[in-house]
Every structure is written in C-alpha cells, then in structure tokens.
Amino acid sequence: MSKLFGTDGIRGRAGSFPLDPSTVWKIGRALGRNLGDGSPVLIGRDTRASSLHLECALVEGIQSVSGIAICAGVIPTPAIAFAMSRENYSFGVMLSASHNPFEDNGIKILSGRGSKSSVELETFIEGEVENERAKPPEVQAPSPLEPDPLYENIYLEHLTTTLRGVELPDWRIALDCANGATYEIGPRLLSALGVPNVVMSNKPDGKNINAGCGSTNPEGLAALVLEEKCDLGAAVDGDGDRLILVDEQGNIANGDSILLICGRWMKQVGTLAEDSLVATVMSNMALEVALKQLGINLHRTAVGDKFVAEEMKRRRVNLGGEQSGHVIFSDYATTGDGLLTLVQLLRAMTASGKRLSELNSLEPYPQILLNVRVSRKPTIDEIPSLSAAIKEAENVLDGNGRVLVRYSGTEPLLRIMIEGPEREIIESLAKNICESAQKTIGSS
C-alpha cells in the first residue's frame, strides 16, 4: 500500500506524487465515498499557486462519486477546523504545506469535530487510492467553486468574542502575515479589536508564501517593530496555525515562551485545567523547570500538534503547544491557531499590565537544531555508527541535557536536537551525529 500520510496530513512537491492531479482526484473520490447523510466537504486553501489546482482536482474527485464540496477560498487552517466543530460537515480539507516553501503543498484532512484525521480514515483513504481503477478526466485550467465568505466571517466573530469585555491598552502591533492564508483576515482582526497596526508580508503572489517572512523568519518583523516603535510583533506561518512573537525591544519569543506566559496567567486566574499543560519533546528543558516552579506540570508528547491535541484530550488539559508556535487553547479551538494565540496573549498581557519583555522570563538552555537531508529512513537503531554517536552524546550530558534524533514526518530530513548547559559541548556533539548521518543515509 502506498504511504500518503505523514505526521501532518499529506505533504510533497506540488505536481509530483502524491500531489499530482490524478492522485488528488482519487483522494477526492475516497473522501466522497466517506460522506454521511449527504453532508458536504468544506475546503480551504492557502495562497500557493498550486493550491488552486489541487482544489480543482479534489473537487472533481468528490463530485465524481456524487459528493458535495463547498469552498471557503483562501482561509487559515484553524478557520476550517472551527467551521468543522460548528457546522454540519463530515470532513474539512485544508490545502497547504504550512511553513514550507511555495514549491511544496499538502492536504490536511479534518474530522467533523475539527480534529486532525484519524489513523483509520487515513488508512482507508490510502487503500482506496491504491485500489482505484477509475481514470480521472483531463484536468483543464482551474475552474474552482465560488468561495463562500461565511466561514472567514464566523471565524473572525469567534476570535473577537474570546476578548469580549476586555479593554485592550493602546498598543501598536506589527503583524507578519507570511504572504499566506491570514493576509486578509489578520489585519481585519486587529482592526476589529481597535488595535493600531502595521502589516507586512500581506501581498501574496503565489510564490512568496513564507519567503523570508512569517513565523520561520521573524527577523524582518523584529526590524519592523523597532523601526515603527511598535509595542509587539506577531508572525504567523503560511496557513495561520503558528505564532512567533517579537517584544518591543526586538527580541524573538517562540512557542515555549507563549506557553509559559499563558500557562502562568491561566494558573493565576484559575482556568488552567489540572494545573498542567502539554508540550512536545522539542520544548526546552527550561520551560519544564520554570513551570515546575509555578506548580504546573508539563506532559510531553511526540512532535506534531495532532499529538499535542490527543494528549490534551486524554489528560483533560486545556493548554498545550509546540516550540514552533503551534499553541492550542482547547476551550476555544481544536487545533493550533496563530491568531487565537495572539488574542489570548493580548488578554494575558492586559490582565498583567505588563509588556511582553517583562512577561517573557524564560531563559532557555542552549539548543542546537540541525537537519540532514536523507536518501532513506531506516530505523536509527539499524545504523550502528549513528546510534553510537547518539549514545556518546547522551553519556557526555549525563542527564543534564537532552538528545533527540528523529525523522521529519513531512520531509526527507533527519532532525537532530541537542540541548545542555554549555553551547560548545552540544555543538560538538551535534556535529558528530550530523556527520555520521551524512555518511550513512545522507542524500547527495
């Protein structure tokens, strides 16, 4: 059976398997066969040039088995997730590769509850695509369904409602829209909240999504904050489910800082369920130490907001997230949501009367992150030299640090993360692991 799904839906190079028109059409047919009671599939997309082509192939596939598709147009992933939890849909689909460059794309499938697709559904779709014998029609120039503005509007109303009764200070905010799915609704939100704002990267051309901007490249936002004398900077990613912050001094704050600030505030006001939150194995040890001092438990899970959401539900926790900026406030949303996170951060800042630089007390341990492009993904234990390099690093750190080596679920990459108290030591250890991986499974 062909493997289509990774840790966050289907990802790949647009136009190539599994994102070629034929395969996407077959995925649409599989979804269409799963529809219950005649309810439709709601489809959203980001601003990549290829997203429109994917939408057309998917819609044709759904309609070929008498399924119904409704298109929301360019819209953030969390807006689709919110619609799933509110409206009568069997599935939602977001066409996006999130923070990846424009050449990539992806298909994220959401359940009727707004959560990421189940393993059972993914297995069914993979089987249907593998066994599909029907031939797709010739795909002509894109002729998408007319987007319905309803879904952006109800999502905007939902975001503003979470701040009802809160009077925000007269802050000026710089917003980096990553030339992605929030390029219209992000500025609309700040205007609806009455927040003076400066906006950058809000002119998508189909190719500039995430290009030197957004949550993975916040340096330009930091410069804008200083230049425009803003009180806060906020950078989302291409599909709007991540948030990275910049304080008024130009310092960058990632998802770990956001979890600490919001977790501390929720604990103070008595809304932090179980006095706990969920983060992934990538979150810095300093977060765990800081939370413990506040009487907050940190539960770790595998990388991916899908796994964070599952662990939150299992532990009945209402706050969780990732260092990369996916943050889930389950009282309001089922997935990571960059704009909702910004709204909740503003709420915490307003309640405290402090600026971000005063609230961000996290002092992370030095951390090294390296990626090795790989030609294959064997089990790491099957590579003796790589396993030995990892074991050596663990022995050197002797419990006073962490070593995490894993494959990316969406790209042909081996990700190496080491953190510890002394940067020189962890840099050397990470370099050894990287060199071993390049020699054994690196792609030329």
Across 375-400, average pLDDT: 94
**How far, in Å, CA of 29 to CA of 195, rounded?**
44
What residues does each domain of the chain span?
5-148, 153-252, 255-340+347-359, 367-441
pLDDT for the residue numbered 140: 55
- Tell me the sheet residues that pair with 110: 92, 116
* Integer CA distances (angstroms), 393 to 105, 365, 397, 419, 421, in order: 35, 16, 6, 10, 13
Say yes or no to pLDDT of 77 above 70. Answer: yes
Which amino acid is located at 423 in the chain?
R
Q: Which of 40, 120, 118, 52 is nearest to 80 (CA)?
A: 40
Say yes or no to pLDDT of 163 above 90. Answer: yes
3-class DSSP state of 254: coil
Q: Which of 408, 413, 369 is nearest to 6 (CA)?
A: 408
* Integer CA distances (angstroms), 230 to 60, 100, 225, 440, in order: 46, 28, 5, 48
Q: Which of 284, 266, 286 is nearest to 275 (CA)?
A: 266
Say yes or no to pLDDT of 444 above 90. Answer: no
Domain 5-148, CATH: 3.40.120.10
Say yes or no to pLDDT of 235 above 70. Answer: yes
**How far, in Å, CA of 145 to CA of 329, rounded?**
32
Say yes or no to pLDDT of 144 above 90. Answer: no
Q: Which of 79, 82, 87 is nearest to 39 (CA)?
A: 87
Q: Which of 395, 401, 391 is nearest to 423 (CA)?
A: 401
Across 267-283, average pLDDT: 96
Class of domain 255-340+347-359: alpha beta
Say yes or no to pLDDT of 269 above 80. Answer: yes
Own/partner pairs, 262-270, CB within 8 angstroms, 24+ separation: 262/319, 262/327, 262/329, 262/341, 262/344, 262/345, 262/348, 263/291, 263/294, 263/296, 263/319, 264/294, 264/296, 265/347, 265/348, 265/351, 265/352, 266/318, 266/319, 266/348, 267/294, 267/295, 267/296, 269/351
With bands split at pLDDT 50, 70 and 90, how would you rate the model's confidence at 2?
Answer: low
Q: Nearest 5 degrees, angle CA 274-CA 254-CA 204? A: 120
**Residue 273, Cβ density class (10 Å: 0-12 exposed, 13-18 middle, ≥19 buried):** middle
Decide whether 153-252 matches 255-340+347-359 in CATH topology: yes
Say yes or no to pLDDT of 213 above 60. Answer: yes
pLDDT for the residue numbered 23: 95
Across 173-193, average pLDDT: 98
- pLDDT > 70: percent of the chain: 98
Q: Which of 24-38, 127-141, 287-301, 317-331 has the lowest mean pLDDT?
A: 127-141
Across 241-263, average pLDDT: 98
**Residue 204, Cβ density class (10 Å: 0-12 exposed, 13-18 middle, ≥19 buried):** buried
The CATH topology of domain 153-252 is Alpha-D-Glucose-1,6-Bisphosphate; Chain A, domain 3 (3.40.120)
pLDDT for the residue numbered 120: 87
Across 206-216, average pLDDT: 98
- pLDDT > 90: percent of the chain: 82
- Annotated catalytic residues are 98
Q: Which of 17-31, 128-142, 195-209 has the lowest mean pLDDT?
A: 128-142
Say yes or no to pLDDT of 411 above 90. Answer: no
pLDDT for the residue numbered 142: 55
Domain 367-441, CATH among 3.40.50.1970, 3.30.310.50, 3.90.1300.10, 3.40.50.800: 3.30.310.50
Across 71-77, average pLDDT: 96
The model's pTM is 0.88
